[in-house]
Chain A
Amino acid sequence: MTTMDDQELTSLRQAFAAPLDQTGPAPHLEPETIWDGVHGKLPADAMREIVQHVATCAPCAEEWRLARTLKTLGEEQEQQTATPLPAPLRFTPRQRQWRNWGLAAAAALALSVIGVQWFQTPPEYRGDQAGVHSQVTDGKALPRERFLLKWSVPAPAGATYGVQVSTEDLRVVASAEGLKTPEYQVPASALAGLPPGAKLFWKIDADLPSGSRLTSPTFVTAVR
């Protein structure tokens, strides 16, 4: 058997992480699954399935590395902000019994809350497949006195729309609901304090007559 030195391992890792020229076989792993995998929160069987996919799917491998980097950065941050624990308390046997019951109850409550939230909460932040498309030229700045946002959906008849417009520092400058047409003019007064070139981030929720809701990706348009 041959051995591998650090330099060769580094070289192989770099090649494995080489930029993509295609997105690889679909379907890709859900980002939440990748995150849980990187954090060791999946059962071993599920973990092996996922890693097997990552072995041959370049985009998922890239996203895995992204999650791992974030995990490392988060751990570094935690270490920097960690404070020493207080000295252990001494309990009498009676107190210890009450403490243990209390800890058990708190743990059960926390697990039930987390479980309910985790399994019942819809993935509200997903929206990449929405089917809502911006009709504003990508990269083009709009004049503040006529900052007209337009979008399209596959079946616009009878749809109503909600729009939210935010600045780069996440300040919501305007929003509207119940729009009957796929366009919205941001009031000039809402943009008055923004410098020329400021980027505005906007997204659309479309309620269709069928009862389904489409959420757009976030679009970026600058103010002139």
Chain B
Amino acid sequence: MLTPDTQSKSNLRAVPSMTSFPSELDLEALRRDLKRAVAQTCPRWMADRSEDIVQVALMRVTEIYRKREGNAEFSSFYLRKAAYSAVVDEIRRLRRRQEVPLENESSEIVYEPVAESPDPERNATAREAGRAIRDCLGRLVRPRQLAVTLNLQGHSVPEVGKLLGWTTKKAENLVYRGMADLRGCLDAKGVSR
């Protein structure tokens, strides 16, 4: 094992201060936004860990910035993208850990996600409905599938058109018809809405 003394021979260095970010990026605002986004979007077991997820992501962003200090193109937009990527990496890591059976992990690992809500039956129903929607979406003709997917993701009809390169009128038509198809499919499956 290396002790502090022997480590000093291995280029041990102490870095006393936090890396400073360009003035256009408010690190605290980024942290706040990331936490809010995780809390709003991710399931409860993960949202409860938003503090750690965001911290890990910001560490990576800090490291990127340190490596590229002085680069004029290191914009706020790029940093937000990097932070988002780091958050997703961390979320995927947590998801994988949730799925790995405990016997395959080190016996020391004690991680167990908390229950999503106090009502397991309601959770199961919601998951079933979600699965049914995805299954039905997979059956829609492609333009309607794309339009409905974005609409279900919270995008307005004009946004759907803009993102997919359609006129608003065309997007509106496809969302309308696609939603009708989706309803029909869910009805056939006996899924209540």
- Our verdict on whether A and B bind, yes or no, reads yes
Known: A32-B85, A56-B134, A177-B11. A187 touches B56 (CB 8 A): no
State which of A11-19, A83-91, A94-102, A206-214 sits at the interface with chain B. A11-19
By CB atoms of chain B within 10 A, which of A113, A175, A176, A184 has the most?
A176
Known: A125-B85, A170-B62, A178-B11. A55 touches B55 (CB 8 A): no
Contacts of A174 in B (CB 8 A): 12, 14
Q: Interface majority SS on A: helix, strand, loop or mixed?
A: mixed
Whether A113 pairs with B73 at a CB distance below 8 angstroms is yes
B193: min CB distance to chain A, Å: 5
Contacts of A13 in B (CB 8 A): 152-154
Whether B14 pairs with A173 at a CB distance below 8 angstroms is yes
A34: min CB distance to chain B, Å: 8
Contacts of B34 in A (CB 8 A): 70
Chain A: CB-nearest residue to B66? A172
Contacts of A179 in B (CB 8 A): 2, 7, 10
Whether A138 pairs with B110 at a CB distance below 8 angstroms is yes
Q: Mark B1-36, 1 if CB is under 8 A from A, else 0.
A: 111100100111111111100000000010001101
Q: Mark B94-114, 1 if CB is under 8 A from A, else 0.
A: 011001000000101111000
Q: Does A1 contact B (CB under 8 A)?
A: yes
Whether B163 pairs with A58 at a CB distance below 8 angstroms is no
Q: Does A31 contact B (CB under 8 A)?
A: yes
Partner of B133 from the list A12, A135, A168, A185 (CB cut-off 8 Å) is: A12
Chain A: CB-nearest residue to B29? A77
- Complex formed: what's the CA distance from A16 to B106 in Å? 35
A16: min CB distance to chain B, Å: 4
Number of interface residues of B (CB under 8 A): 94
Partner of B193 from the list A8, A21, A69, A173 (CB cut-off 8 Å) is: A8
Whether B84 pairs with A51 at a CB distance below 8 angstroms is no
Contacts of B95 in A (CB 8 A): 20, 23, 59
Whether A125 pairs with B130 at a CB distance below 8 angstroms is no
Whether A168 pairs with B55 at a CB distance below 8 angstroms is yes
Whether B15 pairs with A175 at a CB distance below 8 angstroms is yes
Whether B63 pairs with A217 at a CB distance below 8 angstroms is no
- Complex formed: what's the CA distance from A177 to B14 in Å? 11
Known: A56-B134, A69-B40, A201-B56. A18 touches B129 (CB 8 A): yes
Known: A47-B165, A68-B153. A52 touches B145 (CB 8 A): yes
Whether B2 pairs with A185 at a CB distance below 8 angstroms is yes
- Complex formed: what's the CA distance from A34 to B14 in Å? 37
Whether B60 pairs with A47 at a CB distance below 8 angstroms is no
Q: Does A169 contact B (CB under 8 A)?
A: yes
A10: min CB distance to chain B, Å: 10
Using A47-B164, A69-B40, A220-B56 as known contacts, list a sample of 7 further A-B pairs with CB atoms less than 8 Å apart, ordered by residue number in A.
A4-B179, A35-B84, A51-B164, A138-B108, A175-B14, A217-B56, A220-B52
Q: Can you show 24 pairs from A to B with CB atoms below 8 A apart?
A: A4-B180, A4-B183, A17-B41, A17-B130, A18-B126, A31-B88, A35-B81, A52-B149, A55-B137, A55-B145, A55-B146, A56-B137, A70-B33, A74-B80, A77-B33, A117-B71, A126-B85, A126-B89, A172-B15, A175-B13, A177-B11, A185-B7, A187-B12, A218-B90
* A contact set with B: CB distance below 8 Å: 1-2, 4, 8-9, 11-23, 28, 31-32, 34-35, 37, 40, 44, 47-48, 51-52, 54-56, 58-59, 61-70, 73-74, 77, 110, 113-114, 117, 123-128, 133, 135, 137-140, 148, 164, 166, 168-181, 183-185, 187-190, 199, 201, 203, 217-218, 220
Q: Which are the 7 A-B pairs with shortest beta-carbon distances?
A: A18-B130, A44-B165, A15-B129, A19-B43, A31-B88, A18-B126, A172-B15
